[in-house]
């Protein structure tokens, strides 16, 4: 029994390393994608977002406001113009995110307490940059507004402390928790690496049994060595599990290279990752065992996996999605894995604090394991029955 298992395992490794496409997908692709992603978001935060200022007042006060906008690390004033003609063309030319329009007689209206209006036009083509730039402008304008009010109060004879306390009767402190710097690499890094791992596992396992059917080796080679569905499945998944350890090791090193949050202690991450890899593997085996074509198996698995990150609740809450989409998300192992991983990585949650996601992963592991076993067992039964009929037919003739 063990001898046949080792022979089949050796055969599986040979098949894997002979398939250059599969080899490049499983070994080179994770490294390449992780490096590209790391460099794309290496800055972590958006800075110097282009801003156009239309200064229709051109006074010391409006110039002071422009200087304050330029001093904000999120913003960079790329053009100051004194009329609002051709501003749409300038938005395209400078790829600006926001246009700030300072009205005529701005300084005079402020001094006379006529409460002039400053209009900001936000380019929402990209919501991420639009929100970041909008926050920067709001902060600057709020500080500028407060400064004017405090100066006005000081002119009535109040000192600095009195003027500040009258303008602001209480202070509000905003304290960021978990990813305090708002680093986008830290936020996206774990999600994208998990997606990469999911995709390469599914791509590899999509051909695990369907390739045997296409090459007609399922009956002539695999069944000759074992008639145990469990053994056949383990032979198929073990090479991928072993190679996944090396892939995860490379991912771990990339955390240090790109200064992303480092999973620590590793023990709890081993538990969630093992459940994730196991459930993904059995899902891949199930589809591969059911479909006779490796191309069809790959297409079905990619159809399931492609939207997994979007619908998985990592960047958009599951509660805001329709029931049908939530059902689809919940049958993909990436969903509970990423939710548990996010809590452990950013909020330092312990395993007992992510029990619902662990339970979800265990359920998927068991369900897909049973389905994989049933699919392979049925295929073996059909092949053996067909073989017996063929032998009986030959004997009768």
Query: How high is the pLDDT of residue 180?
Result: 66
Task: For residue 26, give the nearest of 276, 252, 238, 198 by alpha carbon.
Answer: 198
Higher pLDDT, 11 or 59: 59
Q: Residue 48: which residues within 8 A CB-CB, separation 6 or more?
A: 73, 74, 75, 76
Q: What is the mean pLDDT of residues 285-304?
A: 86
Higher pLDDT, 1 or 97: 97
- The predicted model scores a pTM of 0.77
In which band, very low, low, confident or very high, does the pLDDT at 274 lie, cut at 50, 70 and 90? very high
pLDDT in tens, 378-393: 988 887 787 777 666 6
State phi, psi for 100 to the nearest 5 degrees. Answer: -105, 120
Query: How high is the pLDDT of residue 392?
Result: 65
Query: How high is the pLDDT of residue 282?
Result: 95
Q: Identify whether the C-beta of residue 110 lies closer than 8 Å to the C-beta of residue 116.
A: yes
Q: Considering only the C-alpha atoms of the chain, give the largest distance between any 2 of them, rounded to a whole number of Å.
A: 117
Q: Identify whether the C-beta of residue 137 lies closer than 8 Å to the C-beta of residue 118.
A: no
Domains of the chain plus CATH, in order, are 2-41+183-396 (no CATH), 49-167 (3.40.1710.10)
What percentage of the chain has pLDDT greater than the value 90?
A: 16
Higher pLDDT, 56 or 396: 56
Residue 275 pLDDT greater than 60, yes or no: yes
Q: Residue 379: which residues within 8 A CB-CB, separation 6 or more?
A: 209, 218, 289
**Strand 75-81 vs strand 49-55: parallel, antiparallel, or unpaired?**
parallel
Pairwise CA distance, residues 10 & 390, whole Å: 30
In which band, very low, low, confident or very high, does the pLDDT at 234 lie, cut at 50, 70 and 90? very high
A 10 A CB-CB count for 368 gives: 22
A 10 A CB-CB count for 44 gives: 19
pLDDT in tens, 151-173: 554 455 555 554 445 444 435 45
pLDDT in tens, 99-151: 888 888 888 887 777 778 888 888 887 777 888 888 888 888 877 776 665 55
pLDDT in tens, 311-356: 888 777 788 888 888 898 899 999 999 889 888 888 888 999 999 9
Question: Count of alpha carbons within 13 Å of 32, Cβ hemisphere only?
Answer: 7
Q: Identify whether the C-beta of residue 49 lies closer than 8 Å to the C-beta of residue 95.
A: no
Q: What is the mean pLDDT of residues 284-291?
A: 91
A 10 A CB-CB count for 105 gives: 14
Query: How high is the pLDDT of residue 163?
Result: 46
What percentage of the chain has pLDDT greater than the value 70?
A: 87
Q: Identify whether the C-beta of residue 204 lies closer than 8 Å to the C-beta of residue 369.
A: no
Q: What is the mean pLDDT of residues 185-189?
A: 78
Task: For residue 101, give the nearest of 82, 114, 120 by alpha carbon.
Answer: 120
In which band, very low, low, confident or very high, does the pLDDT at 258 lie, cut at 50, 70 and 90? confident
């Amino acid at each position: 029994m063990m001898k046949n298992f080792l022979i089949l395992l050796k055969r599986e490794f040979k098949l894997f390393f002979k398939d250059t496409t599969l080899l490049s997908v499983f070994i080179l692709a994770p490294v390449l994608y992780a490096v590209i992603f790391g460099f794309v978001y290496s800055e972590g935060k958006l800075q110097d977002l282009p801003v156009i200022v239309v200064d229709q007042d051109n006074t010391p006060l409006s110039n002071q406001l422009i200087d304050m906008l330029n001093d904000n690390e999120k913003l960079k004033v790329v053009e100051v113009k004194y009329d609002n003609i051709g501003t749409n063309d300038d938005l395209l030319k400078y790829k600006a995110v926001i246009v700030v329009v300072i009205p005529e007689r701005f300084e005079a209206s402020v001094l006379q307490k006529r409460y002039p209006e400053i209009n900001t036009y936000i380019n929402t083509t990209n919501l991420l940059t639009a929100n970041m730039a909008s926050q920067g402008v709001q902060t600057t304008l709020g500080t500028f507004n407060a400064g004017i009010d405090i100066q006005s109060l000081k002119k009535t004879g109040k000192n600095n402390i009195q003027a500040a306390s009258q303008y602001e009767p209480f202070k509000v402190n905003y304290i960021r928790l978990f990813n305090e710097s708002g680093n986008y690499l830290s936020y996206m890094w774990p999600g994208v690496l998990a997606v990469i791992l999911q995709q390469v596992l599914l791509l590899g396992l999509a051909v695990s049994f369907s390739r045997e059917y296409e090459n007609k080796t399922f009956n002539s080679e695999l069944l000759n060595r074992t008639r145990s569905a469990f053994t056949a499945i383990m032979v198929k998944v073990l090479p991928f599990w072993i190679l996944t350890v090396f892939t995860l090791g490379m991912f771990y090193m990339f955390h240090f290279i790109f200064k992303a949050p480092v999973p620590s202690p590793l023990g709890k991450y081993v538990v969630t990752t093992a459940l994730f890899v196991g459930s993904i593997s059995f899902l891949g085996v199930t589809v591969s065992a059911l479909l006779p074509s490796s191309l069809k198996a790959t297409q079905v698995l990619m159809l399931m996996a492609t939207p997994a990150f979007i619908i998985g609740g990592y960047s958009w809450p599951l509660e805001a999605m329709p029931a049908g989409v939530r059902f689809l998300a919940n049958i993909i192992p990436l969903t509970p894995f990423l939710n548990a991983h996010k809590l452990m990585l950013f909020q330092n949650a312990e395993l007992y604090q992510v029990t619902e996601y662990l339970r979800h992963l265990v359920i998927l592991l068991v369900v897909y394991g049973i389905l994989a076993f049933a699919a392979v067992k049925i295929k073996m039964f059909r092949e053996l029955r067909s073989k017996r009929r063929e032998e009986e037919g030959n004997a009768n003739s």
